[in-house]
Amino acid sequence: MNWPLRIVKAARMDSRIARIIMVLPALIFGLGHLGGANEMVGMVPDFIPLKLVMVYLSGVGLIAGALAVILNKMTRLGALLLCLIVLIIGFTVFLPGMIQGDQTSFSMFWKDLALAGGYYYIAINSDR
């Protein structure tokens, strides 16, 4: 195998590893939503109905999106789903607390915004 082809194959593998590392938190957060749904219900804003259902739904969405990227099946859709979920959580759960001066909400909001940017980047650069 000639050296340019080796470089291209290595770059593809590095990109795949980076995508997997990027979505691992979503997989863990999704499992946390399913395993600790009753504890998370208190974080859901009052204007959102069916709080427990929404916690479970977001958990399933996080897991599905992460698995789509990890398995390289419907990667674009999975990454867009992750982007949408973390933006919704960031703006509905953490932004109000951040505005009120809560330091944890401040950190979580900016973490979610950064993750959403990464998921969007995966989506627009995916060929699947």
**45 Cβ contact list (under 8 Å, min separation 6):** 92, 93, 96
- Mean pLDDT of successive 10-residue segments in the chain (128 residues)? 66 83 97 96 93 97 98 96 98 96 97 97 91
Q: What is the CA radius of gyration of the chain?
A: 17
Q: What length does the chain have?
A: 128
126 SS3 class? coil
Domain boundaries, the chain: 3-124
What pTM was computed for the model? 0.88
pLDDT the model gives residue 5: 65
Map tokens 């009120």 to a residue: 100
